[in-house]
């Protein structure tokens, strides 16, 4: 009896926790179609998730959606997030009316009407940034320097500010054009001194920049403040404003997340640890400041910090695992060069070790990290087995034409192709100028010159040009033979150029 009461209490507490966690998401599932339309019409802009309770993707989205809902309620203006359970009695009609065929489906409504499909990120920060860009003008107007100052002090993200004498300033025109183009990823604000209720001296956040109108200033949030770089940067009006914003946005060491990772192009050094600017900004900056001390000396290299749990999959590509011993856990470091090759810092994290690692990385002294199985002891079969360690020998540096298959052990199409590929190897085993090769792309690094997004992926790699050509032909034995016979650098000894078997001489 006590155990039953305990389990019931746990259930109630769990239910209440879930309710609180998602309390800022409007649940419109109980409205009939007319009620749904009336409710949505109350808001200028609203994002609605159409979901099913049993849907795994919906369950993964739920906590991120709830966090985004809370953040967007504090936006100016607020942007509500809502949801509709498509399996409920009323929800079925609503979802059918708006053409929902998969879960979760997210749609943006404006003025009570469907406006567009949501094509943004599926994590909290990305949802917030995307939806902020959907409301109001691209740049928020301020009528006093003091209110703008308050906004900049409270900002959690980079803010680009235009300070102009009047609306007709040439720089103001350029600023607003760029704000319209970049509104989905950047926060913009502006003020005209001629109509402001106070003086620019009230803009104390920018005092160190000595700003005077007209000017465009990029202001980093206080959480990223450090002694190695200015918290605000004034545009010198040379080159493209968009390029200037992009190159200065993340500063010396950026905070890399799932929603902005495309901003960080190699050569790149990433330091992974328990990055958390919400719960532990002080601890986060403790390590970031050490990275900054090194980064200031290498302006041609991009540096970033990243949460080791959020990027556990990426770390696995480098053979690294997150240190889960708590907030005091030391960071781990990985790098990628412009060619896509990977490197890891083997020594324990310290400023001195990071400095040495980056110095060797930039001078080309490091040995790239290669994810690889062991080379097979016996590789004499008709289809040669490539792994990371022997790929160059068998493929890229081979003096033969190579047909190489990238496969996954769990892939059904790969399993179906396997006996045909084996027969192909046997059919061409006496051809000295051709090699048939296969590689498990889940257990070995695939060179960046070969794009593999699905399985099986097959490439033809001729010895003359050494440029991979994706094979898109048929997958029967005769299809492969015909292709190779036609494209081989040197004519096959056993087949004519049109793929017919040559008659043996008596």
Show the tokens assigned to 381: 């079969």
Same fold, 140-249 and 384-487: yes
| Superfamily for the 384-487 domain | Glutaredoxin (3.40.30.10)
SS (H, E, C) 372-386: CCCCCCCCCCCCEEE
Alpha helices in 375-456 (DSSP H): 391, 412-427
Show the tokens assigned to 184: 């989905």
464's CB contacts (< 8 A; 6+ apart) are 489
Residue of 67, 55, 84 whose CA lies nearest to 126: 67
pLDDT at residue 119 in the model: 86
pLDDT at residue 325 in the model: 66
Handedness of CA 177, 180, 184, 190 (dihedral sign): positive
Query: What is the mean pLDDT, run by run of 10 residues, along the chain of 506 residues?
Result: 41 37 84 94 94 94 94 88 95 94 94 90 90 88 95 92 94 93 89 93 80 93 94 93 95 93 95 93 95 97 95 91 72 94 94 98 94 94 95 94 96 96 96 96 91 94 88 95 95 92 70
* In contact, 33 and 41? CB cutoff 8 Å: no
Show the tokens assigned to 303: 């540096």
CA torsion angle 478 480 483 489 (round to 10): -120
- Active-site residue flag, 58: yes
Which is the catalytic residue, given 55, 234, 301, 418?
55
Show the tokens assigned to 485: 């016979």
Choosing among 3.40.50.1860, 3.20.20.150, 3.40.50.300, 3.40.30.10, the CATH entry for 26-134 is 3.40.30.10
CATH match of 140-249 with 3.40.30.10: yes
Domain boundaries, the chain: 26-134, 140-249, 253-363, 384-487
pLDDT at residue 13 in the model: 37
* In contact, 463 and 400? CB cutoff 8 Å: yes
Which is the catalytic residue, given 306, 414, 436, 492?
414
Beta-strand relationship, 469-470 and 457-461: antiparallel
- Active-site residue flag, 95: no
Which is the catalytic residue, given 58, 62, 213, 404?
58
Alpha helices in 26-105 (DSSP H): 33-40, 56-73, 89-97
Question: How would you list the strands of the sheet with 302-307, edge to edge?
Answer: 253-256, 302-307, 268-273, 332-336, 342-344
- Per-residue CA distances from 163 to 141, 193, 232, 439 (Å): 10, 7, 13, 58
Q: Which helix (H) or strand (E) holds 289?
A: helix 281-295
Q: Give the Cα separation of 163 and 145 in Å (integer).
A: 10
Q: Give the Cα separation of 386 and 394 in Å (integer).
A: 7
Q: Give the Cα separation of 95 and 308 in Å (integer).
A: 38
Q: Give the Cα separation of 434 and 436 in Å (integer).
A: 7
Q: Quickly name the fold that domain 253-363 has.
A: Glutaredoxin (3.40.30)
Cis amide linkage into residue 456, ω under 30° from 0: yes
Q: What is the CA radius of gyration of the chain?
A: 29
Within 13 A of 30's CA, how many CA atoms are on the CB side?
2
Q: Give the Cα separation of 170 and 216 in Å (integer).
A: 12
Which is the catalytic residue, given 21, 135, 385, 411?
411
């Amino acid at each position: 009896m006590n155990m039953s009461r305990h389990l019931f209490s746990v259930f109630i507490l769990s239910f209440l926790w879930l309710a609180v966690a998602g309390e800022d998401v409007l649940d419109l599932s109980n409205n009939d179609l007319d009620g749904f339309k009336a409710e949505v019409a109350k808001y200028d802009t609203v994002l609605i998730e159409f979901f099913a309770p049993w849907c795994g993707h919906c369950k993964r989205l739920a906590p991120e959606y709830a966090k985004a809902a809370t953040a967007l309620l504090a936006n100016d203006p607020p942007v509500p997030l809502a949801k509709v359970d498509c399996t409920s009695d009323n929800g079925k009609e609503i979802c059918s009316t708006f053409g929902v065929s998969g879960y979760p489906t997210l749609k943006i409504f404006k003025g009570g009407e469907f406006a567009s499909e949501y094509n943004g990120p599926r994590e909290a920060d990305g949802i917030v940034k995307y939806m902020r860009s959907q409301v109001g003008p691209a740049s928020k107007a301020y009528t006093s320097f003091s209110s703008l100052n308050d906004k900049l002090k409270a900002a959690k993200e980079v803010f680009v500010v235009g300070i102009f004498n009047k609306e007709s300033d040439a720089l103001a025109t350029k600023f607003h054009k760029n704000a319209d183009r970049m509104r989905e990823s950047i926060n913009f604000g502006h003020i005209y001194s001629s109509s402001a209720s106070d003086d620019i001296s009230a803009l104390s956040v920018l005092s160190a920049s000595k700003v005077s109108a007209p000017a465009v200033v990029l202001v980093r949030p206080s959480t990223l403040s450090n002694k190695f770089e200015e918290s605000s940067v004034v545009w010198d009006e040379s080159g493209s404003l968009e390029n200037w914003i992009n190159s200065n946005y993340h500063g010396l060491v950026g905070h890399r997340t799932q929603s902005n990772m495309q901003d960080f192009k190699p050569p790149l050094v990433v330091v992974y640890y328990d990055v958390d600017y919400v719960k532990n900004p002080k601890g986060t900056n403790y390590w970031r400041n050490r990275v900054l001390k090194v980064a200031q000396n290498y302006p041609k290299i991009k540096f970033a910090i990243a949460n080791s749990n959020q990027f556990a999959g990426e770390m696995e590509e480098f053979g690294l695992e997150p240190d889960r011993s708590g907030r005091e856990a030391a960071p781990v470091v990985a790098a990628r060069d412009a060619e896509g090759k990977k490197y890891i810092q083997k020594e324990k994290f310290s400023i001195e070790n990071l400095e040495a690692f980056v110095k060797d990385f930039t001078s080309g002294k490091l040995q790239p990290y290669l994810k690889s199985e062991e080379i097979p002891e016996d590789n004499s079969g008709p289809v040669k087995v490539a792994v990371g360690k022997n790929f160059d020998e068998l493929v890229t540096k081979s003096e033969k034409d190579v047909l190489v298959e990238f496969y996954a052990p769990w892939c059904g199409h790969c399993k179906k192709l396997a006996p045909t590929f084996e027969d192909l190897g046997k059919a061409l085993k006496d051809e000295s100028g051709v090699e048939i090769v296969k590689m498990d792309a889940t257990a070995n690094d695939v060179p960046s010159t070969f794009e593999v997004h699905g399985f099986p992926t097959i490439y033809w790699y001729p010895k003359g040009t050494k440029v991979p050509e994706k094979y898109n032909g048929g997958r029967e034995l005769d299809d492969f033979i015909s292709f190779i016979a036609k494209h081989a650098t040197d004519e096959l000894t056993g087949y004519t150029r049109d793929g017919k078997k040559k008659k043996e001489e008596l």
